C-alpha cells in the first residue's frame, strides 16, 4: 500500500509563510511531501518539550543515568550544563508513523493494513491487537504506558494467576522488537521498581521487547499545547502527548482511533475497541479532537475517522 497519495491529497492545505522557514529545510522537504512541510513549524515547538533521547531512554541505562546525570535538566552532574550523553534510545527518525489510539471508532474500519504500512506504529497502553488485526493492524513498534497500565502489567505478571500472566506475556510477544516505554517520571518513584520487575520477567522469558523510561513526566509539558493550539490542558491525554512526541521524529503522521463521540454515522461507538470502557472527564477529549481535526485540515497530520480504503 502506498501512503504518499493518502498524505498529500485529502487535506485542505493551507498557505504557509515560507519566509519563516530556512531555505535548506524548504528544499529538503518540498520534493518529498507537502505534509512534511506543514509539520515543520509544529515540530519546532514540540522539540522544545519532547525528545526520544530524553523521553524514550533504554531502561538498561537507568543506573548510569542516575549516577551521572541530573534528571531535571538532563545534564551531566557537576558540569556547566553539558547535556547527558551516557544514555541511548532505540527510536530513530521515520518517514511515516501511525499513532493508534484505542477508540471504538476503529471497529469495522478495515484500517489494519493501512496502519501496518507505516514505517513506525505507536500505540498506547499495550492494547490487544491479534483479535482485531483487520481493523487495528498487527504491528507495534512503540507502546507508551501510563501509571495505571504499568501497575496492571506488573501485577498481572506475578505468580498468582497463571492464566492472566500467560495472557500478558503473549501480548508482549506479539510484536518482536517493540519498545515498551513508561511515559511518566521513573526517578524517585515506584515506577522504577515496577519496570525492574517487568524487565526481569521479560529477560527470563526471552521476550524480544525493549523497556524504556523518561527522564521526567510527559504530563509536565502543559505549556506546549498553548503554543500549539492556544489552549491549556490541565491533564493532557496519553494520545495528545503521544502525538507531540511522535512529531519530533516522524515526517508524516496518521492518527487512528481518536474519536470522543459516542455516535458515528448513526451507530454507537464504544470507548475502547476491545471493551466497553467508560467515557471519563479527566481529559478535554472534545478539545483535543477539535485540535486534531484542525491539524488534519491544515495538512499537518492525517486524522483518520471511519473506514479505510482497502486498495
**Bridge partners of 123?**
100, 143
In angstroms, the Cα distances linking 173 to 57, 73, 101, 160 are 21, 35, 20, 20
**Residues annotated as catalytic (active site), given as ranges:** 283
User: Is 60 exceeded by the pLDDT of residue 267?
Assistant: yes
SS3 307: coil
The CATH H-level (homologous superfamily) assignment of domain 4-304 is Glycosyl transferase family 29 (3.90.1480.20)
State the residue for C-alpha cell 475517522.
305
**Percentage of the chain surpassing pLDDT 70?**
83
Q: How far apart are CA 123 and CA 69, in angstroms?
A: 29
For the chain, the structural domain boundaries read: 4-304
Write the pLDDT tens digit of every residue in 95-153: 999 999 999 999 999 999 999 999 999 999 999 999 999 999 999 999 999 889 999 99
Q: How far apart are CA 270 and CA 199, in angstroms?
A: 33
Q: Grid coordinates in use for 254? A: 496518521
DSSP state of 140: -
Q: What is the pLDDT of residue 101?
A: 95
Q: Grid coordinates in use for 239? A: 494520545
pTM: 0.87
Which one has a higher pLDDT value, 227 or 257? 257
Amino acid at each position: 500500500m502506498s501512503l504518499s497519495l493518502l498524505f498529500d491529497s485529502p487535506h485542505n492545505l493551507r498557505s504557509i509563510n515560507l519566509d519563516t522557514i530556512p531555505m535548506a529545510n524548504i528544499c529538503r522537504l518540498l520534493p518529498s511531501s507537502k505534509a512534511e512541510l506543514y509539520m515543520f513549524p509544529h515540530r519546532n515547538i514540540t522539540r522544545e518539550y519532547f525528545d526520544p533521547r530524553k523521553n524514550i531512554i533504554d531502561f538498561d541505562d537507568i543506573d548510569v543515568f542516575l549516577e551521572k546525570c541530573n534528571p531535571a535538566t538532563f545534564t551531566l552532574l557537576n558540569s556547566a550544563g553539558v547535556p547527558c550523553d551516557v544514555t541511548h534510545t532505540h527510536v530513530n527518525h521515520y518517514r511515516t508513523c501511525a499513532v493508534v489510539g484505542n477508540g471504538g471508532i476503529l471497529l469495522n474500519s478495515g484500517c489494519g493494513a493501512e496502519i501496518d504500512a507505516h514505517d513506525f506504529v505507536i500505540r498506547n497502553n499495550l492494547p490487544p491487537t491479534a483479535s482485531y488485526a483487520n481493523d487495528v493492524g498487527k504491528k507495534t513498534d512503540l507502546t507508551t504506558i501510563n501509571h495505571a497500565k504499568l501497575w496492571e502489567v506488573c501485577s498481572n505478571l506475578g505468580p498468582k494467576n497463571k492464566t492472566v500472566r500467560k495472557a500478558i506475556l503473549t501480548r508482549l510477544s506479539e510484536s518482536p522488537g517493540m519498545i515498551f516505554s513508561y511515559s511518566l517520571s521513573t526517578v524517585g518513584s515506584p515506577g522504577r521498581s515496577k519496570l525492574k520487575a517487568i524487565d526481569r520477567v521479560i529477560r527470563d522469558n526471552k521476550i524480544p521487547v525493549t523497556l524504556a523510561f523518561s527522564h521526567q513526566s510527559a504530563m509536565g509539558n502543559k505549556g506546549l499545547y498553548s503554543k500549539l493550539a492556544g489552549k491549556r490542558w490541565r491533564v493532557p491525554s496519553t494520545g495528545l502527548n503521544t502525538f507531540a512526541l511522535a512529531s519530533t521524529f516522524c515526517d508524516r503522521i496518521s492518527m487512528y482511533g481518536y474519536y470522543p463521540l459516542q455516535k458515528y454515522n448513526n451507530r454507537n461507538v464504544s470507548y475502547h475497541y476491545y471493551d466497553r470502557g467508560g467515557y471519563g472527564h479527566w481529559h478535554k477529549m472534545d478539545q483535543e479532537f477539535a485540535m486534531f481535526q484542525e491539524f488534519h485540515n491544515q495538512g499537518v497530520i492525517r486524522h483518520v475517522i471511519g473506514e479505510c480504503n482497502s486498495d
